[in-house]
Amino acid sequence: MKNILFSLAFWALMVLSQFTTPVWAAPTNTSDLAFQMNAQMGRGLNILSADPVWRDPAKARMTEKHFAQIKAAGYGNVRIAIHPFGHVIDQKTFALDPQLFTTLDWAVKEALKNHLIPIVDFHEHHAMGNDPLGKKAMFLAMWKQIAEHGKDYPPEMLFEICNEPNMKPEIWNELQEAARQVIRESNPHRTLIIGTINGNGITFLKDLKLPADDQNIIVAIHYYSPIQFTHQGAPWSKNNKDLKDIHWTGTEAQQRAVMADFDVAQKWSQENHRPLTLGEFGAYETGAMKDRQLWTDFIARQAEQRGWSWSYWQFDSDFIAYDIDHDHWVKPIQDALIPPAKTH
């Protein structure tokens, strides 16, 4: 009897699925959902981190056509950086300016329209890192608003709780769990992204505590090693701003260093049965383009070989993959991210 019921249910589902066109197949459990979502995310770009669109839509650098271009170039996700702390209209309730949501809705809808998975990334790592517990009430009040606002978006829209939480592990575990609970009240089935402390460091995966009963989570790491190469001459990088002529030519030792780091992450992922996304990686413009291309290609392929999704830092502003001012892809970087198909 059980078998008959099961097979009836199975065929009913099969028939139903002919009439709906889900972007992803209905998963059997939430852990599968996070893994499937991660596979669907594939390759992506960080977008809108410094775009004037957030202050004045008339001044937008990124426009509708860029979303279509990103899709056409072969990407599957866009990680949208939002800076909610700069959009508070009431210091008592931490109410967010409706304009923030108008712009966020625009970006999310453009992404979805182009079949790109939008990741809403709470990009307030400096302020959060300076005083994480002092910011807790504001952080949670904002997540409540963002989550409630986004609750009716399709499952392909993801929330990332906090970019690069730079704080003690026990404090981050307290904050991310509190935020997760707030989000789950209005978004019980949405896939969430939760990263590790200290620049989303791989070595801190071991400190991340996630609830066993919530498997609908993708874990985020970032990679900028060797930092002396990727951040040489970067004015905001205290230890590296005066460096120049630091090369990455893909020597065996250089490649091994990356692979050793990635293997640590992969081991953690397998042991903990959590999918990984490489949410940021990139080498700043002051490095030699040839080296940057080699490094970017190597990092992306290594991530892919391990089944991780990734989002390159970033589309516009700095580390650019696309030159908005001249309206073209930065070819060496774009070719490194999405290798052109070989012609014979």
Rg (CA), the chain: 20
**Sequence-ordered list of residues with C-beta below 8 angstroms from that of 7, at least 6 positions apart, any chain:** none
| Shortest Cβ 279–ligand GLC spacing (Å) | 8
| Interface map 286-305 toward ligand GLC (x if CB under 6 A) | --------------------
Cβ count near 14 (within 10 Å): 9
| Shortest Cβ 123–ligand GLC spacing (Å) | 6
* Candidate list 199, 201, 275, 287; residue touching ligand GLC; CB under 6 A: 199
Using rule CB under 6 A, residue 223 touches ligand GLC: no
Q: Of 33 and 175, which has the nearer Cβ to ligand GLC? A: 175
Using rule CB under 6 A, residue 121 touches ligand GLC: no
Binding residue count for ligand GLC, defined by CB under 6 A: 6
Q: Of 138 and 220, which has the nearer Cβ to ligand GLC? A: 220
Extended beta strands in 97-157, E state: 117-122
| Shortest Cβ 24–ligand GLC spacing (Å) | 28
Using rule CB under 6 A, residue 198 touches ligand GLC: no
Extended beta strands in 70-125, E state: 77-82, 88-90, 95-96, 117-122
Extended beta strands in the chain, E state: 43-47, 77-82, 88-90, 95-96, 117-122, 158-160, 192-195, 217-223, 276-281, 309-312, 322-323, 328-329
Using rule CB under 6 A, residue 164 touches ligand GLC: yes
Pick out residues in 311-330 that bind ligand GLC (CB under 6 A): 313
Using rule CB under 6 A, residue 163 touches ligand GLC: yes
- The residues of the shown chain that bind ligand GLC, judged by CB under 6 A, are 163-164, 199, 222, 280, 313
